Copies of this chain bind each other. A is one copy, B any other.
Amino acid sequence: QTFKNIYLKIKTAADLVVQLSTSLKTKPDVVDFGTVFTDHMLTVEWNANDGWQTPLIRPFGDLSLHPACSALHYAVELFEGLKVYRGDDKRLRLFRPLLNMERMSKSAERACLPAFDQSELLGCIKRLIEIDQDWVPHLGPACLYIRPTFIGTEPSLGVKKPNRALLYVIMCQAGSYFNTELSLWADPKYTRAWKGGTGDCKMGGNYGGTLFAQLEAGSYGCQQVLWLYGEDHQITEGGTMNIFLHWINEDGDEELATPPLDGTILPGVTRQSILDLARKWDEFKVLERYLTMGQLCSALKQQRLKEMFGSGTACRVCHIGSIVYEEKNLQLPNQDKHSLSSRIATELTDIQVSR
């Protein structure tokens, strides 16, 4: 065991082997997020002796995995989520895919999975999209969701860095993630991530432990969990979203704020894009800072809160309507066409479909 990851390049996208499906599926109109997949998938195998193997695009189908596979026992696994949009000009565009490739590399390092060439992987993904391009909806600002996945496939029960891995990419209809404004349940008894953990990486282990709290949120009539951290109940993330407050801050200044990337927060691409956009506008303060439930409650009481919203690739920009916290149901300001979330959603869509 050495501490260094030997850098191994994915064989170039030019080497890619394509096996086309002989029977294409029909494309249903409206579906739940992440349930209907396209006709093809990309797979690339890796092993410690030979490095990356030839990338393969093949008909979508089940994976054959050894039952001792390290992903199934020790969650040696990570994923990404990005979207491809059909523009008003009919061309297809990925939204900031290099940010996803970079985050995926960081997750892989943290998970002790091998390094890969980001631009070669992106080249392979583009070829996959090209083959299944008819799955990107033709009407409206719709899109296809792309899920790169990277798993350890070491067929051994030792808890150790895997000598075999599989990187694969599947694509599915995005549908709409949430239909209405969000209600959140905030209780400090569950923690999503912590200092010295993996909360800033998109690793599977960050998610499996959250389902239980999500069900409890449901029992309070809420859709998602607002994850708190520490004695002072810091606001961290909501469900699988980053969180933003648009408010008049303690000093009386208009501010857009989101928690800083201190190791417990997922560095969302939509989060970054919102910060980039708002900083470009230069109309109010834009800050990455700690936010506590106490500060939120004070702002609410003093009518300083303009809006709270979540952001993520799957859910896009999501207005938050209410929070159940310490046996109170906090009603947050309503969304209207002047709300910042509406303006951001419109502007992001304009970029994504190239208006």
Interface residues, chain A, with chain B CB atoms under 8 Å away: 1-3, 32-35, 37, 41, 60-68, 71-77, 79, 109-112, 145, 147, 149, 151-152, 155-161, 168, 170, 172, 188-191, 194-198, 203-212, 214-216, 218-219, 239-240
Contacts and interface: CB of A to CB of B under 8 A. Distances in A.
Contacts of A194: 191, 194, 197
A332 B26 CA distance: 67
9 contacts: A1-B218, A3-B215, A35-B158, A37-B68, A62-B64, A71-B72, A72-B77, A73-B79, A203-B205
Contacts of A195: 191
A200 to B, nearest CB: 11
Question: Could you say which of A158, A172, A188, A216 has the most chain B C-beta atoms within 10 Å of its C-beta?
Answer: A158
Contacts of A61: 67
A194 B133 CA distance: 44
Given A73-B207, A197-B194, A216-B3, A168 B67 contact: yes
B72 A151 contact: yes
A64 B67 contact: no
Contact of A73 (B73, B110, B204): B204
Contacts of A240: 159
Contacts of A109: 212
Contacts of A159: 207, 210-211, 214, 239-240
Nearest to A71: B72
Contacts of A190: 196-197
A64 B241 CA distance: 31
B204 A158 contact: no
Question: Could you say which of A73, A160, A240 has the most chain B C-beta atoms within 10 Å of its C-beta?
Answer: A73
Contacts of A211: 74, 76, 111-112, 159-161
B209 A149 contact: no
A65 B68 contact: no
Nearest to A155: B35
Nearest to A161: B211
Given A37-B68, A64-B62, A203 B209 contact: yes
